[in-house]
Amino acid sequence: MIIGNNQLESFNEINLEKFISITIPFLKNNFQEFIKDKPESELISIISLIVKWAAQYKVHAGINIQKLLHHKIVYGWGNLLPEKLEKYLVDPELHENFRTENFCAELVSERYKLIEINSDSDLRKLAEIK
């Protein structure tokens, strides 16, 4: 059996609608302050954007997308991820569950913001900055 592109798009739209319908209550239960003045249409837009963003990194499982949404709300990140942070989502050797967990752990720890020191000369440069 061959599934046509139109059938696949319809299937994805149904799944997106289902995901949105369970994620809106998730937001209402966990992020009352965040959603306080936002109309439902804006919540749908936010959820749709995170789904599309996650798909770029081959993250498709609902629970992983909700984790990313949670961390986006709590910790935030810009449109472009720092390379040190992005590497956790693009590791081809790992399943999306591990990539998502590693990304979230790194985001929470903020280790990706640290300056890498490779030699004594790097230490001297840092000392000069003060």
pLDDT (0 to 100) of residue 114: 64
pLDDT at 26 over 90: yes
Per-residue pLDDT, averaged over 107-128, amounts to 67
> For the chain, what percent of residues have pLDDT higher than 70?
75
Please write the tens of the pLDDT for every residue from 61-101: 999 999 999 999 998 877 778 888 899 999 989 999 999 99
| d(C-alpha 54, C-alpha 64), whole Å | 9
Number of neighbouring beta carbons within 10 Å of residue 94: 14
pLDDT bracket for residue 118 (50, 70, 90)? low
Quick one: CA torsion of 83, 85, 90, 94, rounded to 10 degrees? 140
Average pLDDT, the chain: 82
pLDDT (0 to 100) of residue 109: 86
| d(C-alpha 91, C-alpha 98), whole Å | 10
| d(C-alpha 4, C-alpha 96), whole Å | 26
Contacts of 72-79 with C-beta under 8 Å, sequence gap 24+, read 73/31, 73/34, 75/107, 75/108, 77/107
pLDDT (0 to 100) of residue 31: 95
Which of 63, 46, 65 has the alpha carbon at shortest distance from 55? 65
